[in-house]
Amino acid sequence: MPMMQPQSRSRLWWRIIPIGIALAVVAYQFLGAPQFINPETGRTARLGLSEQQESALGMQGFREVTAQARLLTSGPAYDQVRRVSGRLAAAMSDTVNFDWQVAVVDDPAQNAFCLPGGKICVYTGILPITKTDDGLAVVLGHEMAHATCHHGAERVLHQNMTQTAMLGVQGSFADLDYQQQRTIMGLLGAGAQYGVLLPFSRSHESEADLVGLKYMARAGYDPREAVGFWRRMAEASGGSKQPEFMSTHPLHETRIRQIEEWLPEVMKERPAGGQVER
């Protein structure tokens, strides 16, 4: 039986030790991260940022966006965005303690987002697709839910953990030549992207859809409007179809199917009688 050369045995250790250390650090990063139990879904998330860090980052981003944008401060579009976001915010659990702020940007981009800590930006280009208060509530409910579910902070933790693991692998292959190292890191990077980070961001999308529908329903909007809105959004995006596994946003059909499945449950969240004063 051939004996293992002492040299190759020690080389094996040099491969294993950096990965072992990295995994220990990853475990430490994960276990040491603050937990957030989502009151809407019951899911426990671990976060890479504190609430203070989140709101500081959100505020910074909000200032950067609004500094360069043409902002509306009055008029029907501005009033609509304020009205709908205000009603959604009032329909949330008491555990949400955001200082909500709204910017309406006069810009044809079909875009809207909510930064961590509750800083909302709506581009007027999306309003022809949202059409009504209910349609706008679909978008704002979804975007505000990303913030209240702390998806940004959870993503920071995932990225930190991925980075640590990659450093460990890099350390263990430090003896290989540059081209080989690049190949290994490239493969691993793609693996992390498609195997870990993208599936997580798709699960964030679907959580934001569900939580947004609940906010809508409780605020007295009609969650069934979500189906029409996402259909219009699909048309507006010109039916551009990336394979689903490569995209952060689920395919429109998948999203619509899932929303239709949730609707019976979500409709129960509507106030008694189903009608709310507008």
Q: Which residues are catalytic?
A: 143
Q: How far is the CB of 236 from Zn ion (least distance, A)?
A: 16
Nearer to Zn ion, 170 or 206 (CB): 206
Cα 274–80–130 angle (5° rounding)?
A: 75
The residue written with tokens 């996402």 in the block is: 230
Instruction: Candidates 106-114, 122-130, 191-199, 203-211: pick the segment binding Zn ion (CB under 5 A).
Output: 203-211
Length of the chain, in residues? 278
Nearer to Zn ion, 22 or 208 (CB): 208
Say what angle helices 225-236 and 133-148 make with each other, to 10 degrees: 90
How do 101-105 and 119-123 pair as beta strands? parallel
* 68 in Cβ contact with 123 (< 8 Å): no
Q: Which of residues 50-69 bind Zn ion (CB under 5 A)?
A: none
Over the window 69 to 98, marking each residue x when it contacts Zn ion by CB under 5 A and - when it does not, the resulting string is ------------------------------
* 99 in Cβ contact with 116 (< 8 Å): no
Q: How far is the CB of 261 from Zn ion (least distance, A)?
A: 18
Q: How far is the CB of 259 from Zn ion (least distance, A)?
A: 13
Nearer to Zn ion, 72 or 210 (CB): 210
Number of residues that bind Zn ion (CB under 5 A): 2
Instruction: Candidates 39-47, 108-116, 197-205, 229-237: pick the segment binding Zn ion (CB under 5 A).
Output: 197-205
* 99 in Cβ contact with 55 (< 8 Å): yes
- Integer Cα distance of 30 and 47 in angstroms: 9
Instruction: Candidates 60-68, 155-163, 186-194, 201-209: pick the segment binding Zn ion (CB under 5 A).
Output: 201-209
Over the window 204 to 243, marking each residue x when it contacts Zn ion by CB under 5 A and - when it does not, the resulting string is -x--x-----------------------------------
* 164 in Cβ contact with 26 (< 8 Å): yes
Q: Which two tokens stand for residue 267?
A: 């409709």
- Integer Cα distance of 208 and 194 in angstroms: 20
Helices (H) and strands (E) in the chain, counts: 10, 6
Q: How far is the CB of 132 from Zn ion (least distance, A)?
A: 20
Nearer to Zn ion, 22 or 45 (CB): 45
Nearer to Zn ion, 111 or 163 (CB): 111
**Which parts of this chain interact with Zn ion (CB under 5 A)?**
205, 208
